[in-house]
Structure 1
Amino acid sequence: MAGLKAGSPTPQALTVHGKSRVLEVVFSDGAAFRIPFELMRVYSPSAEVQGHGPGQEVLQTGKREVTLDSLEPIGNYAVKPTFSDGHDTGIFTWDYLYELGQQQAALWAQYESRLAAAGVGRDAPMAPKGGGGGHACGSH
């Protein structure tokens, strides 16, 4: 996740589809994915979402209608989206975008299982920071 693996496919085209809320990515190996913004947001690689270690993930809710305000290139290896809810700390490497696209069905199932286990739906409001959902990192 943290970089570009040697020989990994690289994006040949990135298209933001605002109306349907998907990022279309065509890779050098011919794979093409339409990754929903919601999936990107709930699986953001940021510490704010993933935590700082296993078991510290923060369940994201209320992201069904999230959009992309911008998509900033990071060198030749990643993009940094800014989402309409203000989240802008995740850096999506080409490898991670490929993984999201390739594993969409499994990731959605995992997300729905986590929601069910928490007794909340996709559209539930997020718990306030520091209020029960927590992490101990004071930097975000």
Structure 2
Amino acid sequence: MSSKATSVPSNINYRKSTNVLELSYADGTKLELEAELLRVYSPSAEVRGHGAGQETLQTGKKDVRILDIQPSGSYAIKVCFDDGHDSGLYAWEYLYELGLHKEAFWKDYLRRIEEAGASREPALISIRQL
């Protein structure tokens, strides 16, 4: 785990064109987190549950986008997604670890999606009004 001082970003940018949250740190480190990764690894109870084994696999989030980012005290940010999810507080240390180990998190997510026979693709539902 990183030290608390190391994990506090000096700058946060959301690049809408690429759907990536960029975190910059005083030591020159830059971490990039895609909106989908942030959404499927949300620290919220909706995603993580209230204990080990209560996690809910997030599916259909390939095209999710960030609508808003709000500070939460001096320790975290709240990220609001276009699928209505906005209940996770991303602490600085969590964002840092997620960014440093992004590839491992991503591989684990893809493995769990495959094992569940699920998809990253959003469900396509045709709605007609007659």
CA–CA distance in structure 2, aligned partners of residues 26 and 7 of structure 1: 13
User: Which deviates more from structure 2 when the two are superposed, residues 72-81 or residues 27-36?
Assistant: 27-36
Match of 2:86 in 1: 88
How far 1:124 sits from its partner (Å)? Answer: 5.1
> Deviation string for 1:86-117 (max 9, x for gaps)?
00000001101101100110001000110111
How far 1:123 sits from its partner (Å)? Answer: 1.2
Secondary structure of the residue aligned to 1:41 is helix
CA–CA distance in structure 2, aligned partners of residues 50 and 112 of structure 1: 17
CA–CA distance in structure 2, aligned partners of residues 42 and 115 of structure 1: 11
CA–CA distance in structure 1, aligned partners of residues 46 and 53 of structure 2: 13
CA–CA distance in structure 1, aligned partners of residues 50 and 110 of structure 2: 22
Matches within 5 A, 1:1-140: 6-123=4-121, 125=123
TM-score (norm 1): 0.82
CA–CA distance in structure 2, aligned partners of residues 23 and 79 of structure 1: 12
TM-score (norm 2): 0.88
Structure 1 unaligned residues grouped into runs of 5+ = 126-140
Check whether the contact 1:9–1:29 (CA below 8 A) recurs between aligned residues: no
How far 1:5 sits from its partner (Å)? Answer: 5.5
CA–CA distance in structure 2, aligned partners of residues 7 and 19 of structure 1: 30
CA–CA distance in structure 2, aligned partners of residues 35 and 12 of structure 1: 16
CA–CA distance in structure 2, aligned partners of residues 57 and 96 of structure 1: 17
CA–CA distance in structure 2, aligned partners of residues 92 and 30 of structure 1: 21
Check whether the contact 2:10–2:26 (CA below 8 A) recurs between aligned residues: yes
Check whether the contact 1:9–1:28 (CA below 8 A) recurs between aligned residues: no
| CA RMSD between the two structures | 1.7
Secondary structure of the residue aligned to 1:34 is strand
Number of aligned pairs?
Answer: 123
Structure 2 unaligned residues grouped into runs of 5+ = 124-130
